[in-house]
Structure 1
Amino acid sequence: MLHWLLVPAAYLLGAIPCGYLIARAKGVDIFAEGSGNVGATNVGRVCGKPAGAAAFIFDVLKGLVPVVVARWIAPTQPWLHIVCGLAALAGHVWSVFLRGRGGKGVSTSLGLALGLSPVAGMVGLGVWAVVLGYVGYVSLASILGTVAATLVLFGITDVFAYELAYAAATVLVIVRHRANIGRLIRGEEPRLGETRPGQATDEGEATDSE
């Protein structure tokens, strides 16, 4: 029973606003700069590529570490593994430290995928990189990479809990990108490196994907 204390711990870990803290360390209010998003893309744009890379790595670890720890402590309890992973993802998206604001979940869902199936996570990352390099849309690359990881996970594991969890994570990532999807359809979504004023909102529906 004590194993389930990992769940609130996973949420609190996921809720640590890494991008926000990295920007604050540089004297930047990330909510007021660039797209207003706390994810790695905006941190990299505003604070430099090293800062963006650090935000990305920390956000991935927020999804990876809870799953790895849960699998180590309770290897025969797959439902604990996925609840810890989803709690971390929820913390990232709805951070108690940011009064319910947060990122769009891409980096943390990648960490979740790596924790459940390293192969699925790496395939998702590879698809993300290829799509981003080919079309330049971070949002499209993020959605397709997440979907690809889901399909691979369904193909290589027979653990229903894992399949269900990552399918739920994928739906969340897609829903969080609904504004980006609308801009893609209208041909208004900026490519990586482009900026368009007035697209950040108080609800966090910013241009950035993460």
Structure 2
Amino acid sequence: MSMPFWTFGAAYLAGSFPTAYLVGKANGVDLRTVGSGNLGATNVFRTLGWKWGLLVYLVDGLKGLLPTLLMPRAFGVEGGWPWGVAIGVLTIAGHVKPIFLMGKGGGKGVATASGVFFALAPLACACAVAAFAVVVAATRYVSLGSLVAAAVLPIAMLVQQPTLNPLLGVAVVIAAFVFWTHRDNIGRLRRGEERRIGGGSAAKVGDNA
């Protein structure tokens, strides 16, 4: 059994919900003009504090988790490959290129991707989240934690199930995508210019990550 075409559009729209933008506006800030200019949980955390940052992370994660988990089940198909993956990828695409912001100013996809993989591979995703937490606690670099988590996810999947499968391939592609969206952060990390958590107040766009 397949899924109706409209469900894929609905998944993209769910991913496009501009959580960070709305939270910023509610606090009188356009997050596209401060910090990294990125509409993700990290920039919210640095600009508005941990409570708002945590809220954005959870909502952005749910944007990936709920459609991936529930939409295939609603139409009587399994949530793995290919339907759950297709739905999950579209939520990530919506988050990175949100239609509600004319395809501009989205996040980097980490929170939404974590929600997608909690639905598709919960144990491996839990390992990736644990790695993220350890790296951020040790270094206070959120970007480095995100990169390590992206790399750990496919490794954990392979350890859990040591056979090649389409979902593992998707995890590798998503990891590569996360590295691509963090390419500026990687450059700053190499130069020792990346901003740590607690590194000061928000500055104009482009001054930090």
Do the two structures share a fold, i.e. TM-score over 0.5?
yes
The equivalent residue for 1:179 is 184
5+ residue gaps in structure 2? none
After superposition, the Cα gap between the structure-2 partners of 1:135 and 1:48, relative to the gap in structure 1 and judged at 3 Å, is: closer
Who is 1:68 aligned against? Answer: 69
3-state SS of the aligned residue for 2:82?
helix
Q: Which runs of 5+ in 1 are unaligned?
A: none
Matched, 1:93 2:104: no
- Distance apart, 1:76 and its partner CA: 7.1
1:26-105 equivalences under 5 Å are: 26-72=27-73, 73=75, 74-75=77-78, 78-101=81-104, 102-105=106-109
> Which 4+ residue blocks in structure 1 deviate beyond 4 angstroms?
195-199
* Pairing 1:1-12 to 2, within 5 Å after superposition: 1-12=2-13
| Cα drift, residue 75 of structure 1 | 1.0
User: Aligned runs of 1:109-188 on 2, under 5 Å?
Assistant: 109-157=113-161, 160-188=165-193
168 and 161 in structure 1: CA distance in 2 versus 1, 3 angstrom threshold: same
The TM-score with structure 1 as length reference comes to 0.88
Task: Letter of the 1:171 partner, please give it.
Answer: A
Q: Residue 171 of structure 2: SS of its match in structure 1?
A: helix
**Cα shift readout 1:104-137 (whole Å, capped 9, x = no counterpart):** 1111111111011111111111000000111111
Q: Is the 8 A contact 1:137 1:191 kept in 2?
A: yes
Q: Distance in 2 between matches of 1:175 and 1:153?
A: 21
**d(CA) in 2 for partners of 1:99 and 1:6?**
21
Q: Which residue of 2 aligns with 1:190?
A: 195
Q: Please give the TM-score of this superposition, normalised by the length of structure 2.
A: 0.89
In structure 1, C-alpha distance between the alignment counterparts of 2:165 and 2:71, rounded to whole Å = 17
Q: 1:127 to 1:106 in 2, by over 3 A?
A: same
Q: How many residues are matched? A: 204
Equivalent-residue separation in structure 2 for 1:77 and 1:150 (angstroms): 15
> Residue 197 of structure 2 aligns to a residue in which SS?
coil
